[in-house]
Structure 1
Amino acid sequence: MTDIIQYKCPSCGGAIGFETEIQKMKCPYCDAEYEMEAVRELDESLKNEQSDDINWKMETENEWQGEDEGMHVYVCKSCGGEIIGDENMAATSCPFCDNPVVIAGKFSGLLRPDYVIPFKLDKKAAIEGLKKHLTGKRLLPKIFKDENHIEEIKGIYVPHWLFNADADANIRYRGVRTTSWSDSNYRYTKSSYYSIRRSGSLVFERIPVDGSVKMPDDLMESIEPFNFDDAVDFQTAYMAGYLADKYDVAAEESVKRANERVRRSVEQTFLSTVNGYNSVTPEHTSVQVENGTVKYALYPVWLLNTKWEGKTYTFAMNGQTGKFVGDLPVDKKAYWKWVGILTLIFSTVLYGIAVAVL
């Protein structure tokens, strides 16, 4: 069994968690509030505590084989309940007493994040964000909205690698200018082709690449940007009351995606300087990256996974800015109903125009 960290209220002994509105630790039982600096000192003292080392050799005839691979058992210090999770679980809440817990050792050594952006928006704001996202969607199945378990939305700190680098780039574009004219007999079109070159240097700071296999990359990029001005040095206290995973995609494995983001940014930036053409197409891009460094950070995300007719739909909200994204199912009956209505309206308008002309 692996021990867990749990922050106790010095006043009443209740489990305390991070409160987004006041950006402090707060006890839900006696309403006592604690500054993060005080909790930091408590965190340092907890690191020096040692767990019991009592071993019993038990004879068992039936042991699980294979089913428990990669799973660990954690013990809640409030109620003694056992929490089962995978090797990447770093913070959660006890399913028996609902007290927030942080897994000891998951944020130490090379696994310890450099920064964390604390949650600015609470669960209530996340639920309201989801309701707003569902509002006004005429083609959304009513039963999907009614049966969607919005109370199950969870706050999770998603691991991110932050890449810093200098980039030198050279890009060649193909530009086309088209002019048209006509006379009494024909219409003429002339196309002129140009080779356009752009070169320059760009400095990239904190390019985010999520380090979790479970998180869809496009979903995480869709709720960007995060404002790094709110980032603070990592403390485990910020994890209390939220879920958190340590990274399971190493920084080295994330370099390819970071390079792709650098390349796209360079092409878009340089393209914005090319004007006066009807169309512009990149033909060759050369990017050299130097002075690359990487940091490890945790970003706040509200997440909900729900199923509809065998398909999983994932909704995510930026826990700092409130940006909300997520695909929605379409009610096929409602879709064809609206197609019929629009077709009828369009046909009526055309008939009216024809009558007016006649």
Structure 2
Amino acid sequence: MANIQEYKCPCCGGAIAFDSTIQKMKCPYCDTEFEMEALQGYDEVLKQQEQGDDMTWDTTAGGEWQDEEAGGLRTYQCKSCGGEIVGDESMAASSCPYCGNPIVLMGQFAGALRPDYVIPFKLDKKAAKAGLMKHLNGKRLLPKIFKDQNHIDEIKGVYVPFWLFDASADATISYQATKQRTWSDSSYDYTETQYFMLNRCGSIGFERVPVDGSTKMEDELMESIEPFDFDEAVPFQTAYLAGYMADKYDVSAEESIERANTRIKKSTEDHFRSTVKGYDDVSVGQSSVQLHGGSIKYVLYPVWLLNTTWNGKQYRFAMNGQNGKFVGDLPVDQGAARRWMILTTAAVAAGAYGISWLLWLAGIL
């Protein structure tokens, strides 16, 4: 028995059939009519989009450490959060830059990939303190005592590990779009809806899509201090670690692929969607994004981490060690917040009274 080709309506998804009266394909659900040539083209697009869009990444990021490089490095582990930190041999007992608890010496460094590149710190600890003070300025609901620099528990310069993904994307995406026109006469209101099937095909290249390689550093915090200017990256040398810490990655390149794929595909779909204009409503029908030519680099980004404590709660701030972008949550003085709410309510009430009084004088009320 021969296979029967079933066509779905691009407008409503219902099964459509040939109508001998009009000599066209017609949807019995939304009454949309189609020329056979249009449906054949639609079918070809769907077949192309059914192709797989997975890609095998080249995960040979980083390299092997030379004995003379690793010989000057030590590893430290936090017994609280489990973070493993790399420092030079001169680093004394310290505390974890992520949770503030003491970290203990584990011994000779070994076992991790050597970074391909590093973006050196351009801003020092003094700039990090100034960044915090600037971040606190103008915050009217911030507890006054929180602004005292003595409450800064730790300021740590940390190189955070990142995987950078390069890839090209070939995309075939279809959209269902509508245009509406309304008018009226003496008896009725009319609405005419036109349905369109749109296709977008093309290629787009991506360079250095970042994925954080550390579980201790919140992704939202790192994304908030992006971007980093990779033009200032240099081939990695251990000398750049002197006086700083480096987070030892605990998310491998292979484990980061899924997130990189998601970011690349989402960016591709957003870019293609931005080219669909002039319609009242647009929705994605089918999407196929095929990646190829993928490669990965391992890089260290400079970040200042500041930990402060207030009322028994720890607050963490982060500053981009390259350009000074500063982020972090702040506590709220509940007493000041209540006073502000009372004053705001009173101001609104006074404003409303004043407007009513002016309207009364004008004879409107």
TM bin, normalised by shorter chain, reads 0.5 to 0.7
Does the alignment pair 1:347 with 2:349? yes
State the partner residue of 1:30. Answer: none
Deviations 1:278-326 (A, max 9, x none): 5555454322111111111111011123344554432111111111111
Does the alignment pair 1:337 with 2:332? no
TM-score between the two structures when normalised by the length of structure 1: 0.67
Q: Which range moves more in the overlay, 153-162 or 310-319?
A: 310-319
Does the alignment pair 1:95 with 2:97? no
* CA–CA separation in structure 2 for the residues paired with 1:190 and 1:329: 54
State the partner residue of 2:26. Answer: none
Deviations 1:135-169 (A, max 9, x none): 11111222333376336211100011111111112
Deviations 1:152-187 (A, max 9, x none): 211100011111111112334455656778999999
> Contact 1:148–1:306 (CA<8 Å) still a contact in 2?
no
Superposed, 1:75-224 pairs within 5 Å as: 88-91=84-87, 94-95=91-92, 105-106=109-110, 111-146=113-148, 149-150=151-152, 152-175=154-177, 194-224=196-226
* CA–CA separation in structure 1 for the residues paired with 2:237 and 2:294: 26
- What amino acid sits opposite 2:91 in the alignment? C
Deviations 1:2-58 (A, max 9, x none): xxxxxxxxxxxxxxxxxxxxxxxxxxxxxxxxxxxxxxxxx98945989xxxxxxxx
- What amino acid sits opposite 2:237 in the alignment? Q
Deviation at 1:104, TM superposition (A): 5.5
Q: Which range moves more in the overlay, 197-206 or 293-302?
A: 197-206
* CA–CA separation in structure 2 for the residues paired with 1:143 and 1:105: 41
Q: 1:286 to 1:144 in 2, by over 3 A?
A: farther
* CA–CA separation in structure 1 for the residues paired with 2:324 and 2:135: 11
Task: Report the structure number with the largest CA radius of gyration.
Answer: 2
Q: 1:49 to 1:90 in 2, by over 3 A?
A: closer
* CA–CA separation in structure 1 for the residues paired with 2:244 and 2:308: 19
Q: 1:310 to 1:223 in 2, by over 3 A?
A: same
3-state DSSP of counterpart to 1:111: coil
Deviations 1:70-113 (A, max 9, x none): 9779xxxxxxxxxxx9783211663369xxx9x8644x7x6111
> Contact 2:146–2:310 (CA<8 Å) still a contact in 1?
yes
Match of 2:254 among 247, 252, 255: 252
TM-score between the two structures when normalised by the length of structure 2: 0.66
3-state DSSP of counterpart to 2:319: strand
RMSD: 3.7
Flag structure 1 segments of 5+ consecutive residues without an equivalent: 1-42, 51-69, 74-84
* CA–CA separation in structure 1 for the residues paired with 2:287 and 2:113: 36
* CA–CA separation in structure 2 for the residues paired with 1:189 and 1:326: 51
Deviation at 1:128, TM superposition (A): 0.9
Q: 1:296 to 1:135 in 2, by over 3 A?
A: same
Q: 1:313 to 1:264 in 2, by over 3 A?
A: farther
Flag structure 2 segments of 5+ consecutive residues without an equivalent: 1-64, 95-104, 361-365
- What amino acid sits opposite 1:265 in the alignment? S
> Contact 2:160–2:302 (CA<8 Å) still a contact in 1?
yes
> Contact 1:127–1:151 (CA<8 Å) still a contact in 2?
no
Question: Aligned residues, how many?
Answer: 281
Q: 1:344 to 1:155 in 2, by over 3 A?
A: same
State the partner residue of 1:267. Answer: 269
Q: Which range moves more in the overlay, 249-258 or 311-320?
A: 311-320
Q: 1:352 to 1:71 in 2, by over 3 A?
A: closer
* CA–CA separation in structure 2 for the residues paired with 1:335 and 1:183: 56
- What amino acid sits opposite 2:92 in the alignment? P
State the partner residue of 2:48. Answer: none
Q: 1:324 to 1:242 in 2, by over 3 A?
A: same
Q: 1:179 to 1:353 in 2, by over 3 A?
A: farther
3-state DSSP of counterpart to 1:354: helix
State the partner residue of 1:287. Answer: 289
> Contact 2:214–2:251 (CA<8 Å) still a contact in 1?
yes
* CA–CA separation in structure 2 for the residues paired with 1:49 and 1:71: 15
Deviations 1:182-224 (A, max 9, x none): 9999999877665544332111111111111111111111111
State the partner residue of 1:5. Answer: none
- What amino acid sits opposite 2:166 in the alignment? N
